Each structure stands twice: as structure tokens, then as C-alpha cells.
Amino acid sequence: MESTLQGPAAVVSSPPMWLNRFATLGQAFFTELPPEPLPDPHWVATSPDCAGMLGLPDDWWRRPDWNALQVFSGNARWRGMQPLASVYSGHQFGVWAGQLGDGRALWLGEIDTPTGPMELQLKGSGLTPYSRMGDGRAVLRSSIREFLCSEAMQGLGIPTTRALCVTGSHLPVPREEIETAAVVTRVAPSFIRFGHFEHFAHHDQHEALRRLADFVIEHFYPGCRDAAQPYAALLQVVTLRTAELMAQWQAVGFCHGVMNTDNMSILGLTIDYGPFGFLDAFDPGHICNHSDHQGRYAYARQPNVAFWNLHALAQALLPLIEDSDSALAALETYKTAFPQALIERMSAKLGLATREGGDRELIDELLQRMAADRCDFTITFRRLGLFSTEPGAANAELRDLFIDRTSFDLWADRYTQRLQRENSVDAQRSVRMNRVNPKFVLRNHLAEVAIRQARADDFDEVARLVKVLRRPYDEQPEWAAYAGFPPEWAQSIEVSCSS
């Protein structure tokens, strides 16, 4: 598809093998437009790991002929890039919001990588037809948070969009206060969301809906093509991927904060990092989004919200599936897949190598004790890896996290007996547990320190966090301070939908 894009961005030399598969869907799916130039841009951060995944050379960001700083600030483009904003709709906080779309993002196209095509997208690149009341810009604060968490989740092994880089500018942007502009370059096999399907279903554009579903099946779920009901098979595989993703979120204490249907990836990726947070003190009712006044997206509610969102996707796919029983059957798989995925991950966090009927109660009792005593989620599970089953072992490092020591001791006795029944070897179990219980997560206060320094044009802390968070399960004793308890001032940090 030949682009007719007109705009100020210069075309410069670039890496080879650009693709534009999404653009073949047709004009009903997007609007072509150039990004708004970002004045006097500078580098804020780059991800060597993401660049390596894309097959880019180590010096990609400083090659004079590639002009990457200008390209990823929206001031130039590589040959083959075809900037466009896609249209979608969705439910926000459980209410139909109508047409939404890429209000501050532009899809650039795909680069052919060693692992397959990857889409690149600028976030914060200016107004689009879908910006509604927004200005189309992103600010340094939110861009750093998205950049860091994208790469942190990759380090944790959780499916996620990636972040190649962040560029910044001293261009003022009004939010609750005046901030400065930034652009984050996001990477994913696809940015297609549940909301894309909702949009065309809501407007009774069933041919476009079919074209979109066929596109997703062809490029991402080819195994669905030969199913008796390909669109029901599509719904089922998305259901299963979403169930697995929710189990992974819950197991590391990740709170998304704004699980609207337009923020749900059709590929089961974590997408759209805004008011996210990792649990500090364990509170199942924790609400990380200051804008979520009803607590719809509280930590403990995330699995049920995902199921609700899958129902919205099923409703959108019904014109193609036609048989509501088949759609319901696909959705029903969530009811078994999510609990199974969660118990497997939580059992691994406790170092259990076998399964017994009382394991769920053992896990639930630990979580109840943690919640009652507000134990730090990440630190508790990491210290659990040091648990000794030797007679008379005090397990003081873990025990001291709990206020009610008597209740903890009763649980520890049951845990010891459970481990002994499977002949668990402490040293071997500890190694296994440290592979699933991270020592480092992107706590809000860590991101906040990096943001404060970046506002003074000091980006070293961002780079340090990228380095630490890429290996969250390793001891990294030189970075032990990043694994400590959050400071008291961290309780005052608030993140909202503007984050």
C-alpha cells in the first residue's frame, strides 16, 4: 500500500525490511498523519535489550546516517515508515465510552526482526483525530514510567509490550501542573486491542470486523484457521492467554490500574502502562489508580475484570461466531484456566514440587497472614526462599516480617510438614524459589526518584534501573538498596490516569 502521507518529517536512511501489514486493512481502520515535531529533542533512555531483540546494532541510536533521535521524536522518519493512528472503541471503568482510538500514539510500521515482525509506535507524538479533549502529548514522568515498567515486566518474564527508547524536550505540557514533553517508542508484535473489535461490532461494520479477525488469525493465531469455528477458536485462545497473563500479574503483585477494554491486548500482552504499581504492603484491596474512585481495578479484582472484558470481546465477535453457545463455551475455559495457572504459580512461589489437596488452603492462609500484618509482598516471598525445615530453625528473617508471630509459627509448622512430605531439600528449593520470586520490582518510589532526577536532566538513575530490573531474580548484591523496604514518603505517591 503506497503512502500518500504529507508532512514535515524528512526521510532518512534506515534499517532494512520495513513492513506495513496493518495498513493493508484499509482506511476504515486508521488515519494517516505525520507526528507533530518535538522541538530540540534529547535522549532520555534507550533499552539495549529491546534493541537487540529488534536486531539493531549496539550503536543504532548514535549513527549519524540513521538520525534516530529525530526519528523517534517525530521529526524525521526512516524509509518505509507509514505513520498512522488507529481507531477503536471500548468500555472504560465498565461503561461504554464510544469511539476512542490512538489519541496520542502513532503506529510507524513493522521492522522485520530475528523473532518476526515487530510494530513500532510513538506515544506522545501529538494530536490525532482520536485525541478527543487531549493534547496528544505525553510527559516525561509518564514516559519514564512506561519505559521502565515495559522492560521490567520483560525481565520478570511477563508478556508485555516493550520500550525501545524515550526522547525528551523542554516543551511545556500542561497537566495538573506544567511538565515537559517526551516521546516513548513502544514495540510489540501487534497493538490490536479488544476495543478494535468492539468498534466495528458496535457500528455494525461486520465486513470490517471479519477482516480484522481474519488478519489477527492469519498473522498471530494461524492454528485457528482450521478449527470448525475459527472465530470461536480465536476467542478461546485469547481467553487462555488472558487467563495466564492475569495469573502472572497476581503472582508478582502487579496492579495495572486501568483495565479498560481498550487497554486489553488481543495477544495477551501487558499494554498501556499508566497508573500501574507493584504491591508494597500486601493489601488485596489495593487501588493503585487515584482516579479509580470505586476501586473497580483493585488488585484482587483484576482477574474478574479480565473475565468481564473477555465477555465484551465475545459480544463483539458474536456477529462472526453466530452461535452464542460456542462463544460461551470459549469463555468458560477462563474459569478453569485462570485458577489452574494461579495455583501453579503460587505453588512455585512456595517451592512446592508436587501437588496436594490442601495446597490452596496453605497458600491462602499465608496470604491472609500477610494481609493482616501488611507484610511486604515482594520481600516476604523472597525471604520465604530462605526458609529452613531443620528442627528448631527460627527462620527469623521471614518471621520478623509478621506482627502476629504465633499465627505465623502455626503456619510455618504446617509448611514444614508439607515440605517434608515431598522430601524437599532446602538448598535446592531455595534455588527454584529465587527463579520465581523476584528480588527487584519497579516500586513506585524507585520510579519517582528516577523521574525527579530526570527533570533536572540527569538520566543516570533511569539507566541504572534498566540495568537492575533486567535481572530481577538475581541477587545483584551491589544493588541491594533497590530491593529494600519502601521509604515512608512512598506512601504519599499518587498515580492517576494522567500518569
Residues labelled catalytic: 262
- The sign of the torsion formed by the CA atoms of 132, 137, 142, 145 equals positive
CA-based end-to-end distance of the chain: 36
The residue among 218, 211, 216 whose CA lies nearest residue 235 is 216
Q: Spell out the SS3 assignment of 425-443.
A: CHHHHHHHHHCCCCCCCCC
- The sign of the torsion formed by the CA atoms of 339, 340, 345, 346 equals positive
The residue among 471, 486, 476 whose CA lies nearest residue 154 is 471
Cβ neighbours, 10 Å, residue 489:
9
Look up cell 516513548; give the residue: 184
The residue among 181, 154, 202 whose CA lies nearest residue 41 is 181
Cβ neighbours, 10 Å, residue 167:
28
Look up cell 518476526; give the residue: 116
Strands 10-12 and 76-78: parallel
CA distance 246 to 494: 24
CA distance 187 to 295: 30
**Cα separations (Å) of 213 from 89, 245, 326, 366, 456?**
16, 21, 16, 43, 46
Query: Helices 230-252 and 324-349 meet at what angle, rounded to 10?
Result: 30
What b/e string do you get for 490-499 counting C-beta neighbours within 10 Å, with b at 16 or more? eeebebbeeb
Task: Give the list of residues 6+ apart from residue 95 with CB closer than 8 angstroms, or none.
Answer: none
The residue among 491, 370, 347 whose CA lies nearest residue 419 is 347
Q: Which helix (H) or strand (E) covers residue 169, if one does?
A: strand 162-174
C-alpha cell at 223: 492454528
| Amino acid letter, residue 485 | F
